[in-house]
Amino acid sequence: MSGGSAMGGFSRIVLWGVKGVLLCALLLHLPGAEATLHGIKHTPVVDVNVYSKVAEINSSTQARFVPMFGAPGDIDSSRDDGSTIRLRLESHSGSGIVSQNSVFRGFFNAAIKLPCGVGGDSAGIVSAFYTSNGGTYPSNHDEIDMEFLGVRPGQPYVVQTNIYADGSTGTGREERFHLWFDPTVDFHNYSILWTYHHIVFFIDDIPIRRYVNRPEQGIQYPAKPMNAYATIWDGSTWATEGGQYHVNYTQGPFDATFTNFKLEGCVWDPTIQITPPECAMPTYKAWFNDNEMQEMSDKQLIALEWARSNFMWYSYCDDQERYPVHSPPECPRRLGNLNSIVTSGTPPSARKGPWRKTPKSKPVTRPKPATLPPVPGHKHKKRNKPSKFEASHYLPYSLWKTTFEVKLLKEDMIEN
């Protein structure tokens, strides 16, 4: 793992890797039956439902998240009847869990409270929620990443999105955003929608990035079932301002807490079922194949522009150091020099790459709709009261009804 139409639909907005030694499977004494992943038995840490969500069949199977790596005690599932997982980073090891079930197209969600050390120092720490099939397809794996990069005290947390397809690890598609809230105070929902037409990243139902499948242009796109992962690990060599600031373990322990896991889509284990199941066909009648799920509403487009104009400070499409002649084919075509590039509303700048120091300058601010959270000047703002946008406000699939419009029109979403 490293480290990114006038829409009339999407009216039902979606609900809400690191290698390591498999120690927790042997040392965690948790209730429940053992699960098997890639032929290895593990003690489950989290049980969630995985739905196929087809029109005629409402089938579900129990999905178990199992330990992937970590030392004894670094994975704690003792809270909330096992539905909340605390992953810990210590000097000897990070920790991570992986879903037993793999899903082909669909929706992945986790509500996360990110780590904050003593004095707010989280530099060098990488917390991640992502999908991957690297264990099944090591030479041509797919991956969709949301990585949260720790910062020095007083700096806004950074989320990095990235996409690999068919083993295209040589083409990093990183895009970086500053978060417009303090993610260490409350839980916030981080989501990935993956359909045959596009991939959309959400933060609290606000879309921040859209990656469209354009096979006619030879653009690589994830096309194999993936598992969901949650991890925390030491990324001191690159994560914070190009590796200038490392994890200060005297400020620990560093805990990332995950809850409200959701996996929705076509359940398919390619290690058992070689032939794709019927639900993997693009013509299959399922929610993730609906036409409206391939588009975005006008309000979502406004929100997407708001997030990218105000908070995206790096895009691989604008990086002339990495791509001096031609940017990857999915990027806007360059017209002359870098100053001619506009990537989804974010103005170009002299920023060269994700390894460089976070720039001091801000992107140009566009007018924002009144129903969107205010821009807090890219600084952490501690809330005086608990967030009204926590995991308990999650809407199930059966209640999908323009979640974005419903939630963003609530008065308690607006901070005056």
Residues labelled as active-site residues: 143, 147
Distance CA 209, CA 28 (A): 37
C-beta atoms surrounding 127 within 10 Å: 31
φ and ψ at residue 286, rounded to 5 degrees? -145, 160
Among candidates 279, 254, 277, 278, which has minimal Cα distance to 265?
Answer: 279
* The residue type at 57: I
Distance CA 186, CA 200 (A): 23
DSSP annotation string for 161-224: EEEE-TT-TTS---EEEE-SS-TTTS-EEEEEEE-SSEEEEEETTEEEEEEE--GGGT-----S
- β-strands 254-267, 46-51: how paired? parallel
- β-strands 46-51, 206-212: how paired? unpaired
Distance CA 189, CA 113 (A): 9
Distance CA 318, CA 347 (A): 9
C-beta atoms surrounding 50 within 10 Å: 25
C-beta atoms surrounding 276 within 10 Å: 14
From the number of C-beta atoms within 10 Å of its C-beta (0-12, 13-18, 19+), residue 340 rates as exposed
Distance CA 294, CA 288 (A): 8
Q: And the tokens for 415?
A: 């901070």
The alpha carbon of 254 is separated from its chain's Cα centroid by a whole number of angstroms, namely 20
Cβ proximity of 298 and 169 under 8 Å: no
Distance CA 127, CA 244 (A): 18
